């Protein structure tokens, strides 16, 4: 089947006085109908920027490049008006910060009326209410709260409201940016359940952005691992988690496991400055397996041995590695490279 959404070499950068922050730097992936792709990676690696970029929802001043194909059209080159229409009906977004998206002066009912009317102007007030109450019920919010204001809800409830608002039009593709971070464990499980129902009942496709590798294992078909603006590995969840090819994926999985069992164990070092990322592989200053080639030459994006894609010189292609490139990178070479 054809993918619902295809990102091709997507780039997003923010202009700053220090230079351009290359928050997303050449990202490609497909999502099939009814499929959920999990997007994981450390804070600041560009997940939210990518999610917003896919929707054409970047702040003014951000620049972008590449293509995002949806239903035969490139979302990134659409007129703003057409992109706006598409966003309500076919593309939905659940934001990382729900408060900034709800208008404190408007009741929940107003939010629903506004959203639904924009895209279905023919509906009566009763029909709108019926749809809204369905969406609220799905998210465990009682119908009695329909006329409440956003500030009358707890943080977790507001997040669920945002999800209900995003779901009410039953879009074909949803970006959910950390939909569970503000929520307690019970609600988290409930949301994973709802997302799963959604894809089963409506064949909704989802990009699920999260820090939580456990959620990815539970709710996603495929996973994309992002590091410093690039997707360094992607593939089927079981395959990538059981047989990670990229050292960053391995570190990420290791740090998550030990967070649960033995306490804190973050990946040593910190992500690079996206204004001036390191030459070669961006992970090389932190990579326990770095080789000489990694400090100078960008790894090539290739197919993983068991499907999916990866970019790491350990996987290959061998013939592209210069003579002597596979010797371990020495600590003192690191200092020079940076
Ligand atoms: P988190 O996990 O903390 O949500 P993230 O992976 O979603 O992080 P982004 O929010 O996409 O990361 O940020 C990627 C990079 O772009 C960071 O360096 C961030 O500081 C920068 N950035 C994000 N938004 C802006 C903006 N509006 N203007 C300038 N820089 C920005
Ligand atoms: Fe590590 Fe080199 Fe692979 Fe980068 S390309 S992840 S530095 S082994
Ligand atoms: Mg984010």
For 284-304, the pLDDT digits (tens) are 999 999 999 999 999 999 999
280 CA distance to ligand 3 centroid (A)?
Answer: 25
127 CA distance to ligand 1 centroid (A)?
Answer: 39
Count how many domains the chain has.
2
Closest Cα to atom 5 of ligand 2? 312
Query: Is 135 a domain residue?
Result: yes
* pTM score, whole prediction: 0.91
Task: Locate the ligand 2 atom nearest the alpha carbon of residue 294 and give its number.
Answer: 2
Query: Is 206 a domain residue?
Result: no
Reported as a single tens digit per residue, the pLDDT across 34-70 is: 999 999 998 899 999 999 999 888 888 899 999 999 9
Distance of CA 263 to the CA centre of its chain: 26
Residues 6+ apart with CB under 8 A from 323: none
| Probe target for ligand 1 pocket from 19, 49, 224, 231, with the most ligand atoms within 8 Å of CB | 49
20 CA distance to ligand 1 centroid (A)?
Answer: 12
Among the three residues 136, 164, 192, which one is the final residue of a domain in this structure? 164
Among the three residues 164, 194, 209, which one is the final residue of a domain in this structure? 164
Reported as a single tens digit per residue, the pLDDT across 247-260 is: 999 999 988 765 55
Query: Is 282 a domain residue?
Result: yes
More confident residue, 61 or 322: 322
The residue range of the domain holding 154 is 107-164
Query: Is 65 a domain residue?
Result: no
Q: Which residues of 12-50 are buried (b: 16+ CB within 10 A; e: fewer)?
A: bbbeeeeeebbbbbbbbbbbbbbbbbbbbbbebbbbbbb
Among the three residues 164, 179, 196, which one is the final residue of a domain in this structure? 164
Q: Establish whether residue 291 lines the binding site of ligand 2, counting it when its CB lies within 6 angstroms of any ligand atom.
A: yes
Ligand 1 binding site (Cβ under 6 Å of any ligand atom): 14, 21, 23, 41, 43-49, 59, 96, 274
> How many residues would you count in the chain?
338
Reported as a single tens digit per residue, the pLDDT across 199-215 is: 887 788 999 998 778 88
Q: Which ligand is nearest to the CA of 62?
A: 1
Query: Is 235 a domain residue?
Result: no
Query: Is 307 a domain residue?
Result: yes
Closest Cα to atom 30 of ligand 1? 14
Q: What 3-state class would DSSP assign to 305?
A: coil
Query: Is 289 a domain residue?
Result: yes
| Probe target for ligand 2 pocket from 271, 288, 289, with the most ligand atoms within 8 Å of CB | 289
Q: Which ligand is nearest to the CA of 15?
A: 1
The C-alpha R_g of the chain, in whole angstroms, comes to 21
């Amino acid at each position: 089947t054809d993918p619902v959404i295809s990102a091709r070499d997507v780039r997003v950068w923010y202009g700053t006085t220090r230079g351009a922050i290359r928050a997303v730097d050449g990202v490609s992936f497909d999502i099939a109908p009814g499929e959920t792709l999990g997007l994981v990676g450390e804070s600041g690696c560009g997940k939210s920027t990518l999610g917003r970029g896919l929707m054409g929802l970047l702040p003014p001043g951000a620049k972008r490049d590449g293509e995002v194909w949806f239903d035969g059209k490139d979302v990134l080159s659409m007129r703003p008006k057409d992109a706006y229409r598409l966003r309500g009906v076919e593309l939905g977004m659940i934001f990382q910060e729900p408060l900034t998206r709800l208008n404190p002066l408007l009741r929940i009912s107003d939010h629903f009326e506004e959203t639904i009317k924009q895209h279905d102007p023919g509906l009566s007030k009763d029909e709108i209410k019926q749809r809204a109450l369905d969406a609220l019920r799905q998210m465990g919010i009682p119908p009695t709260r329909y006329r409440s204001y956003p500030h009358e809800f707890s943080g977790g409830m507001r997040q669920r409201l945002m999800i209900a608002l995003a779901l009410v039009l039953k879009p074909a593709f949803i970006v959910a940016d950390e939909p569970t971070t503000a929520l307690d464990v019970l609600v988290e499980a409930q949301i994973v359940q709802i997302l799963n129902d959604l894809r089963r009942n409506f064949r909704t496709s989802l990009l699920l952005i999260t820090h939580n590798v456990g959620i990815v294992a539970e709710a996603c078909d495929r996973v994309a691992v992002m590091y410093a603006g690039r997707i360094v590995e992607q593939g089927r969840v079981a395959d990538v988690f059981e047989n990670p090819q990229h050292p960053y994926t391995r570190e990420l999985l290791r740090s998550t496991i030990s967070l649960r069992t033995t306490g804190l164990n973050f990946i040593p070092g910190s992500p690079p400055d996206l204004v001036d990322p390191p030459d070669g592989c961006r992970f090389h200053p932190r990579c326990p397996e770095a080789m000489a080639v990694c400090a100078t030459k960008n790894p090539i994006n290739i197919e993983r041995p068991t499907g999916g894609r990866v970019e790491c010189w350990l996987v290959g292609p061998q013939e592209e590695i210069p003579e002597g490139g596979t010797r371990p990178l020495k600590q003192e070479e690191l200092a020079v490279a940076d």
